[in-house]
């Protein structure tokens, strides 16, 4: 029996969804000789990747001249997804697919940037540097390389979904899914230069339950390619996925309200050893406190010499704060991996030896973000208040006493 939908007809069933995906690939695929797929290892892009592989392998979609998989590795992937992505990558390579790992350069990676350079963890208000730096820019750079190799525009396939309501609202556009993207899903589409690629979002109309069914039952079956995708579905909370519609992001994402994806993973006994990862977000919260940071003393000017609006802003992490946080992250990693070893489970790799060494070097060299020298006062030191118009309100005696 078909379920009634809000738009009067029947809800899209799985095979109808696949047919629409097939139609979009047949319509737009032949317009490009070279295809690429942006694969985050998350549920939507993994469903797309394995479905496209199935359609190509069975000849239902003609093979492009080249097909390149761009695997986006933020270095902060949720471990079950990372493990599944590794197995799938291995299988793709075995089948002769060109798989390229896309990762930010060492100094731009999240943990090196925060703990080495001292840039505070991102927040939702003023400082959200991470998406561009660890996801968008590396993907754009790899895409530029790819287009350079191929000598012409490529068709970039993305796993962006808007759900079937997009059909009802007339918003569905099989050729491009620029709108409705959010971090971890179609992030690069908003900013990648148009001339490098055209984008196609063949799962735009898929419901989350279709994604779940594909990953859990279809893709692992031999007739669909025998892919190791059930671990991806389970990482989202298994059958609960439809209810919570969980999205994964980086482990310990400072912008998330809750660790929904990590909580779903920890509820599974085989991943319980990852519990110390819950302590990462409190580390980021602690690092936002004034006593962990420097503050501009007042009188900061713009390039044109006028006073900047945000006087006495809080800035980078003190060197001590960075050393403290590095110890915390390494401690979390060590505890997870001790448990992993004891239980014969996969270890986490929050910080590898190269990253740790680079962080220590940057701290020892007293590295500061642009426009900071390290001579500024700590954020909790009481100061005369300086305003954007240049007026100064001297520190009152009881402010000093309170701070003392
Ligand atoms: S998941 Fe969070 S930490 Fe990772 S890039 Fe997105 S906003 Fe930044």
318 in the same domain as 237: no
289 in the same domain as 191: no
Mutate which of 103, 104, 249 for ligand 1? The one with the most ligand atoms within 8 Å of its CB, which is 249
Residue 350: closest CA among 362, 338, 332, 363:
332
326 in the same domain as 216: no
C-beta of 255 in contact with ligand 1 (< 6 A): yes
What is the mean predicted confidence (pLDDT) over 130-145? 91
- CATH number at 177 reads 3.40.50.620
Q: What is the pLDDT of residue 169?
A: 53
Mutate which of 184, 185, 280, 350 for ligand 1? The one with the most ligand atoms within 8 Å of its CB, which is 184
DSSP 8-state assignment for residue 11: P
- How do residues 235-251 score in pLDDT, each as one tens digit? 877 666 555 555 667 89
| Residue whose CA is at the smallest distance from ligand 1 atom 2 | 253
Q: Label residue 390 by pLDDT band (50, 70, 90).
A: confident
**Is residue 261 a part of any domain in this protein?**
no
Q: What is the pLDDT of residue 181?
A: 34
How many domains does the chain fold into? 2
Helix ranges restricted to H, 197-352: 208-213, 230-235, 241-244, 260-266, 280-287, 319-343
DSSP string, 250-268: STT-TT-SS-HHHHHHHTS
Place of tokens 């809080």: 314
200 in the same domain as 70: yes
| Highest mean pLDDT out of 29-33, 206-210, 225-229 | 225-229
**Is residue 254 a part of any domain in this protein?**
no
**Is residue 272 a part of any domain in this protein?**
no
227 in the same domain as 286: no
**Is residue 234 a part of any domain in this protein?**
yes
Of 190, 220, 242, the position where a domain reaches its end is 242
Q: What is the pLDDT of residue 189?
A: 40
C-beta of 229 in contact with ligand 1 (< 6 A): no
Q: How far apart are CA 132 and CA 153, in angstroms?
A: 22
Asked if 325 contacts 283 with a C-beta cutoff of 8 angstroms, the reply is: yes
Of 222, 242, 262, the position where a domain reaches its end is 242
Instruction: Determine the structural domain holding residue 306 and report its residue range.
Output: 280-403
C-beta of 131 in contact with ligand 1 (< 6 A): yes
The pTM for the full model equals 0.87
**Is residue 375 a part of any domain in this protein?**
yes
Q: How far apart are CA 71 and CA 243, in angstroms?
A: 28
Q: How far apart are CA 166 and CA 145, in angstroms?
A: 34
CA 178–ligand 1 middle distance (angstroms):
19
297 in the same domain as 224: no
304 in the same domain as 232: no
How many residues in the chain? 404
292 in the same domain as 220: no
Calculate helix-pair angle for 43-57, 14-28, nearest 10 degrees. Answer: 70
* The token pair that represents 380 in the structure block: 């909790």
- How do residues 250-263 score in pLDDT, each as one tens digit? 899 988 888 888 88
CA 257–ligand 1 middle distance (angstroms):
12
- How do residues 309-332 score in pLDDT, each as one tens digit? 999 999 999 999 999 999 999 999
- How do residues 261-316 score in pLDDT, each as one tens digit? 888 889 889 999 999 999 999 999 999 999 999 999 998 998 888 899 999 999 99
**Is residue 353 a part of any domain in this protein?**
yes
CA 132–ligand 1 middle distance (angstroms):
9
Q: How far apart are CA 316 and CA 372, in angstroms?
A: 8
331 in the same domain as 223: no
C-beta of 228 in contact with ligand 1 (< 6 A): no
pLDDT at 194 over 80: no
**Is residue 251 a part of any domain in this protein?**
no
| Highest mean pLDDT out of 25-39, 103-117, 384-398 | 103-117
364 in the same domain as 289: yes
DSSP string, 167-187: HHTT---TT---TT-BTTBSG
Q: What is the pLDDT of residue 172?
A: 45
Q: What is the pLDDT of residue 59?
A: 97
Mutate which of 72, 73, 74 for ligand 1? The one with the most ligand atoms within 8 Å of its CB, which is 74
Residue 263: closest CA among 275, 250, 279, 249:
275
Of 242, 268, 301, the position where a domain reaches its end is 242
C-beta of 122 in contact with ligand 1 (< 6 A): yes
| Residue whose CA is at the smallest distance from ligand 1 atom 4 | 250
Element (H, E) at 25: helix 14-28
Residue 34 to residues 31, 53, 149, 318, 322, Cα–Cα distance (Å): 9, 15, 11, 48, 45
CA 133–ligand 1 middle distance (angstroms):
10
**Is residue 362 a part of any domain in this protein?**
yes
159 in the same domain as 286: no
| Residue whose CA is at the smallest distance from ligand 1 atom 1 | 249
221 in the same domain as 83: yes
The percent of residues above 70 in pLDDT, for the chain, comes to 84
């Amino acid at each position: 029996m078909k379920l009634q939908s809000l738009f009067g007809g029947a809800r899209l069933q799985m095979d109808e969804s696949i047919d629409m995906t097939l139609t979009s690939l047949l319509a737009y695929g032949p317009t490009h000789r070279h295809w690429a797929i942006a694969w985050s290892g998350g549920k939507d892009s993994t469903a797309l990747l394995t479905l496209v592989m199935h359609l190509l392998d069975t000849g239902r979609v003609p093979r492009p001249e080249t097909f390149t998989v761009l695997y986006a590795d933020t270095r902060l992937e949720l471990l079950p997804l990372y493990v599944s992505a590794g197995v799938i990558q291995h299988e793709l390579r075995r089948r002769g697919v060109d798989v390229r790992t896309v990762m930010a350069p060492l100094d731009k990676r999240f943990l090196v940037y925060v703990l080495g350079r001292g840039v505070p963890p991102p927040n939702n208000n003023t400082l959200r540097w991470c998406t561009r730096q660890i996801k968008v820019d590396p993907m754009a750079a790899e895409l530029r390389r790819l287009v350079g190799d191929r000598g012409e525009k490529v068709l970039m396939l993305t796993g962006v979904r808007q759900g079937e309501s997009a059909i009802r609202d007339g918003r569905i556009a099989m050729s491009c899914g620029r709108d409705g993207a959010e971090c971890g899903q179609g992030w690069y589409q908003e900013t990648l230069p148009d001339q490098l690629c055209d984008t196609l979002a063949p799962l735009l109309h898929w419901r989350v339950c279709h994604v779940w069914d594909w990953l859990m039952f279809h893709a692992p079956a031999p007739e669909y390619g025998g892919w190791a995708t059930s671990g991806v579905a389970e990482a989202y909370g298994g059958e609960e996925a439809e209810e919570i519609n969980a999205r994964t992001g980086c482990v310990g994402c400072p912008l998330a309200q809750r660790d929904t994806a990590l909580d779903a993973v920890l509820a599974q006994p085989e991943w319980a050893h990852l519990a110390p990862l819950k302590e990462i977000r409190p580390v980021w919260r602690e690092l936002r406190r004034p006593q962990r940071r420097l503050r501009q003393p007042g009188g900061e000017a713009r390039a044109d010499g006028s006073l900047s609006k945000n006087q006495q802003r809080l800035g980078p992490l003190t060197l001590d704060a960075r050393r403290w946080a590095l110890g915390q992250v390494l401690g979390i990693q060590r505890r997870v991996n001790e448990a992993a070893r004891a239980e014969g489970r996969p270890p986490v790799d929050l910080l590898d030896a190269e990253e740790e060494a680079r962080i220590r070097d940057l701290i020892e060299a007293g590295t500061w973000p642009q426009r900071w020298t390290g001579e500024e006062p700590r954020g909790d030191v009481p100061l005369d208040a300086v305003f954007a118009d240049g007026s100064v309100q001297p520190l009152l005696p009881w402010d000093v006493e309170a701070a003392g």
